[in-house]
Chain A
Amino acid sequence: MSAAIEAHGVEKRYGSLVAVEDLDFSAEAGEILGVLGPNGAGKTTAIRVLTTICAPTRGSFEVAGVPHTQSAEIRARIGVLPESAGYPERQTGEEYLRYHARLYGQSRAGARAVARSLLEEVRLGERSGSLISTYSRGMRQRLGIARALVNEPRVVFLDEPTLGLDPAGQRQVLGMVRRIADERGATVLLSTHLLAEVEETCSRVLILNRGRVVAQGTVSEVSRRAAAPRSGRICVAPDSVDAALSALAAVEGVAASVDGRRGLLVVTLARTESMNDAVGAIVHAGIPLLSSELEGARLSDAFLAMTGEA
Chain B
Amino acid sequence: MLVVAGQELRDLWLGGRGLVLSFAFSLLMSLIAYLVATNRALNFLEHRETVNLALQVAIAVGALLALLAAADTVSGERERGTLESLLLTPVSRLAIAAGKLLAALSLWLGAFVIAIPYIWFLGRGVGLVRDALGIGVVVGTLLAVFLASFGFLISVFASSNRVSLSLSLLVLLALFVPTQLPTAAQQGWAGDLLLRANPITAGEHYVGKIVTDGHAWSQDASWLVSPLVAAVVFAAAALLVGARFTRLRGGATA
Residues of A at the B interface (CB closer than 8 Å) are: 14-15, 48, 51, 53-55, 72-73, 75-76, 78, 80, 82, 84-88, 90-91, 99-100, 102-105, 147
Contact A76 B82 (CB under 8 A): no
**Complex: A92 Cα to B53 Cα, angstroms:** 43
- Report how far A84 CA is from B84 CA in the complex, Å: 10
- Quick check: is B85 within 8 A (CB to CB) of the other chain? yes
- Proximity string of chain B (72-87) to chain A, C-beta cutoff 8 Å, 1 when within and 0 when not: 0000000011101111
| Closest residue on chain A to residue B252 by CB atoms | A14
> Which A residues are CB-close (under 8 A) to B248?
48, 53-54
Asked whether B220 is an interface residue with its Cβ less than 8 Å from the other chain, the reply is: no
26 CB-based A-B contacts, threshold 8 Å: A15-B253, A53-B87, A53-B247, A53-B254, A54-B247, A54-B254, A72-B90, A73-B90, A75-B90, A76-B90, A80-B85, A82-B81, A82-B84, A85-B84, A85-B85, A86-B81, A88-B80, A90-B16, A91-B11, A100-B85, A103-B3, A103-B86, A103-B90, A103-B91, A104-B89, A104-B90
Q: Are B253 and A14 in contact (CB under 8 A)?
A: yes
Q: Is the CB of B11 within 8 A of A51?
A: no
Say if the beta carbon of B92 comes within 8 Å of chain A: yes
Q: B254 and A147: CB pair below 8 A? A: no
Report the nearest A residue to B7, measured CB to CB: A99
Q: Are A86 and B89 in contact (CB under 8 A)?
A: no
CA of A103 to CA of B90, assembled, Å? 7
Number of interface residues of B (CB under 8 A): 23
B 21-60 contacts with A by CB, 8 A: none
Contacts of B3 in A (CB 8 A): 99, 102-103
For residue B15, which residues in chain A have a CB less than 8 angstroms away from its CB?
90
Q: CB-nearest residue of chain A relative to B92?
A: A72
Taking the nearest CB of chain A, how far is it from the CB of B247, in angstroms? 8
Query: What's the minimum C-beta distance from B4 to chain A, rounded to whole angstroms?
Result: 7
Confirm or deny: B170 has a beta carbon within 8 angstroms of a beta carbon on chain A.
no
A104 to B81, CA, bound (A): 20
- CB A135 to nearest CB in B, in angstroms, measures 14
- Closest B residue by C-beta to A77: B90
Given A14-B252, A103-B3, is A75 in contact with B89 using a C-beta cutoff of 8 Å?
yes
* Min CB gap B197→A, angstroms: 37
Inside 8 A of B254's CB, which chain A residues have their CB? Answer: 53-55
Residues of A within 8 A of B89 (CB): 75, 100, 103-104
Chain A residues lying within 8 Å of B253, measured Cβ to Cβ, are 14-15
Is B85 a contact of A147 with CB atoms below 8 Å?
yes
Bound-complex Cα distance A278 to B91 (A): 64
